[in-house]
Structure 1
Amino acid sequence: MRTTRVLAACGAALMMIGGAAPLAVADAVPEADLAYHGAASIAAGRVGVRFTPRNHGPSAVSDASVRLRWSEPLADGQTLPGGCARAGERDVVCRVGALSADGLGKQISLRVGLRGTPSEVLLEIDTVWNGGAVDRNRDNDRQRVLVLDSGDEYYF
């Protein structure tokens, strides 16, 4: 009986010291599952990309942004849609905006020129910012698609 009381007291003390606080903090962080699905094509060094962001939830996201990275350098003098900005030699970052839980965002479409005319390009898409939410399924917000210079669309 005395051993049981000692163990119970130790367990209660541990909960007060460190057990309860991490649970409260973990519960306070929203969880969202962002995903991007769309298509890409390339012809004569011009890459077209369109995709729709989605939040599978369970929490809404106040703001999000996505990075598109090409395996080939972008040509100088890109004209990008509003909300998108060049972020390096091969990168463009686009604002996704707020996403409700289990909601779709607005489709993002852009066309960029590459230096030269490669026969293929690897496009990588991933979340840069998700409003501070935890995303436990990073597989669907990280896309990689090999796009061949055939004029065909490659879906992701």
Structure 2
Amino acid sequence: MRRSAVRSVVVAGLLVLGVSGGSGVSRASGVSGASEVSWASEVSWASGIPRVSGSARSGPEADVAYHGRVSLEQGRLRVWVVPQNEGPAALANATLRVRLSADLADRQELAEGCVRAGLRELVCETGALPLHGRGRHIGLLLALKEPVPEVMVRIDTWWNGGASDRDLSNNQHAVLALDTGDSYAF
């Protein structure tokens, strides 16, 4: 995995977890093949909340959107997401967050560029989002800790490289998946 990809996913993971302190993280844990990374100079710790250098106001404007499907069958949740960018600027990378209403099983095989960010959360890098183009398709097969009759899946953008996005309606989704094996589109 590229060092910048690990860095963006780990920064997003720290934001999800609400890690505070001033020393940064020296290892991107949870990412297979991850190397030691040191990026404290790229993260500021104002008010105990990590923030990537640069602000949303000074960055480009982009319209990140997600489309995909979710299905649940016998404690196995399938999530397929296609990130895209309607512009007006391209993005080098963004971080997608997936939150569940049920706990994930302890062991997961995650797609490349994805890391677990809590008992019920994952973050995945989208890859480059060209102007009026799509990022890499993200496919997840997640095991739940216990079988449940339904799962609420929330998908949103956690980090977008400091870009401003005026239309959040197409990148914030909540999908209720029933344990029927049926596919629910968003």
Match of 2:181?
151
Aligned length: 132
Instruction: Compute the RMSD of aligned alpha carbons.
Output: 1.6
The separation in 2 between residues aligned to 1:49 and 1:39, in whole angstroms, is: 6
Equivalent residue in structure 2 for 1:45, among 66, 75, 94: 75
The residue correspondences of 1:66-77 to structure 2 (distance < 5 A) are 66-77=96-107
TM-score (norm 2): 0.68
Which residue of structure 1 aligns with residue 128 of structure 2? 98
SS at the partner of 1:139?
Answer: helix
1:87 counterpart letter in structure 2 = A
Tell me whether 1:82 sits opposite 2:131 in the alignment: no
Letter in 2 for 1:135: D
Indicate the SS of the match to 2:60: coil
TM-score normalised per structure 1: 0.81
In structure 2, stretches of 5+ residues that fail to align are: 1-55
2:117 is aligned with 1:63? no
State, as a whole percentage, how many aligned pairs show the same letter.
49
> For structure 1, which runs of at least 5 residues remain unmatched after alignment?
1-25
Pairing 1:110–2:110 present = no
Cα distance, 1:27 vs structure 2: 8.8
4+ residue runs of structure 1 moved beyond 2 angstroms?
A: 26-29
- Alignment of structure 1 residues 15-30 onto 2, 5 Å: 29-30=59-60
Contact kept? 2:57, 2:163, Cα under 8 Å: no
Residue in 2 aligned with 1:11? none
Q: Take 1:122 and 1:83, find their aligned partners in 2: how far apart are those partners?
A: 23
CA distance in 2, matches of 1:28, 1:126: 22
Of Structure 1 and Structure 2, which has the larger fraction of its residues in helix? 1
Q: Tell whether 2:159 aligns with 1:129.
A: yes
Deviation per CA, 1:7-27: give whole Å up to 9, x if none: xxxxxxxxxxxxxxxxxxx99
CA deviation profile, 1:25-71 (whole Å, cap 9, x unmatched) = x9953100001000010001100011100001000111101000000
Partner residue, 1:17: none
Larger C-alpha radius of gyration, 1 or 2? 1
User: 1:67-123, CA deviations, whole angstroms, 9 ceiling, x for partnerless residues?
Assistant: 000000101011111100000010010010111111111211010011111000000
